[in-house]
Amino acid sequence: MLAHAVFGGLLLAVACHSAGLPASSSGGGKGPARNPGYVRMPVARHQFNGTGKSSRGWHWSSPPGATGFPPPPQPSRRPWSTFQPGASSTQPASSGHPPGPSPSVPSHRPRRDAQVQATNRWGWSSLEELGGIAYTIQLDIGTPPQTVKVFIDTGSYELWVNPRCDTSASATLCEAQGTYYPDKSSSSMFVGGEFDVSYGTGSVEGYYWSDVLSIAMFQIPQVQFAVANDSNYAFAGILGLGYAYPYSINYPSVLNLMVSEGLISAPIFSLGLGGDQDNFSEIIFGGVNTWKFSGPLVPVPIWPPISQQDPRWIQYWVNVTSVGMTKPGEHPVIYTPSDAFDMPMLLDTGSTLSYLREDLVAVIGQQFDATVDNAGNYLVDCAYRDQDGTVDFGFDSGRMVINVPYKDFIYQQYPGHCLLGVQPADAGSTNYVLGDTFIRGAYLVFDQQSDTIWMNQYYNCGDGVATVGLSKGDTGRIVGAC
């Protein structure tokens, strides 16, 4: 267990939301960046300058002559079978113990034809909670495998590794996440092309490589990802799980490749972060843990629809239709208008906190007798974490309400110092975010096949995984066992 003192100077919200906010730092690693703050809102998409070919063969990258991100036509769903980069895949056992009965997994399996649906295909991995700041997943990259841990981030769409530790928010934490050395892998290939992303505080830059990658019981050949050569503030790399090819990037992401390799049936993954400091967090690719919720999963459509979003920046927006609280021993109270309230919010595992309209934050803060510090942060008494109340978020006009326990909603930065789980979005911004202080209260299924987020209240009453994605919308037929 990492000491809380390590996090005392950190409020990391490694997030990739939307472009357009001013950067507080330009370029990666150009001096130390240890000032406590929020890593929020990337402000510049990187440019794709790769040639698409190295001396050792063809890779997923920009075509020759590309000098920037190619503006795609209005995207259409291309068959996942178009991703056929090469060798058949294997599925080694992952670290930890997956829930429920293990699927029958051959050690070597040829890629199946696109018309043949995968059955009983899912990959499970535990996640490590870093003091409520963020959640990491273990990757094994290369031949022989090199272990690194990266943040899972539903607010971005690419994988990168190797932050620069001497300019990170915590060199100790950074070094504990591991380092990947391409020259120590016999299967690594240099792709080329610059990777350059700036955040509200901090940035990263590097180049693209390709290598074999093991994740969540799966081994995937020829995965393209960025290897940083300079960065600041970030103390771990990032696994982006948002919409990728053919929208935001012009090569298949890790999630895309799981589908094209026949490892899962569709680009779907489920997430149960569990309660704060409960030491149980998991992600399942291609499956749903039916023992983490009760009753059916409720579909919440991505809103605005992807057809109305920037085709180069498709994200998991959902429409929140009510916000309220249930104080201990009292009836629920809703603080938003009872009719026609809409607030699109981004579901982002990479954000420690959630961000709302300031008027709503003020109302919620009053219920906790919050104070506001010089930086505008709402602070609350940590004793509220021990009370049996909830902060409530409604979707689909109240058809689904997620009740987040105080313990999971109030973020304890260090003992005796707690922040309200929702903070004001930047002035003039409508980039509202449902971060980990919300997600801990919900069981979520991110379904790119149906452009839907399936959700229900999170419980933990056992383990048992059901495959999803065999047909469009089949997640709706899953019933929780709790």
> What secondary structure does DSSP assign to 334-366, as a single string?
E-S-SSS--EEEEE-TT-SSEEE-HHHHHHHHH
* pLDDT tens profile 427-440: 888 999 999 999 99
Alpha carbon of 230 to those of 181, 203, 426: distances in Å? 14, 8, 27
Token pair of 332, please?
């629920």
* pLDDT tens profile 315-371: 999 999 999 999 999 999 999 998 889 999 999 999 999 999 999 999 999 999 999
pLDDT over 60 (residue 38):
no
Structure confidence at residue 287 (pLDDT): 98
Q: Which of 211, 276, 348, 436 is catalytic?
A: 348
The residue type of 396 is: D
Structural domains in the chain, sorted by start: 4-54+88-99+113-272 (2.40.70.10), 287-481 (2.40.70.10)
Token pair of 292, please?
């983490």
Structure confidence at residue 31 (pLDDT): 32
Cα separation of the two ends of the chain: 29
| pTM tops 0.95 | no
Structure confidence at residue 102 (pLDDT): 33
Q: Is 153 known to be catalytic?
A: yes
Alpha-helix residue ranges (DSSP H) falling in 267-418: 358-367, 406-409
pLDDT over 80 (residue 101):
no
**Helices and strands per DSSP (H, E), number in the chain:** 6, 32
Q: Is 342 known to be catalytic?
A: no
Q: Which of 140, 153, 447, 474 is catalytic?
A: 153
The percent of residues in the chain predicted with pLDDT above 70, rounded, is 74
* pLDDT tens profile 274-328: 987 777 899 999 999 999 999 999 999 999 999 999 988 899 999 999 999 999 9
- Chain-wide mean pLDDT for the chain? 79
Structure confidence at residue 275 (pLDDT): 85
Token pair of 311, please?
């085709």
Backbone angles phi, psi at 154, to 5 degrees: -80, -5
pLDDT, mean of residues 201-230: 94
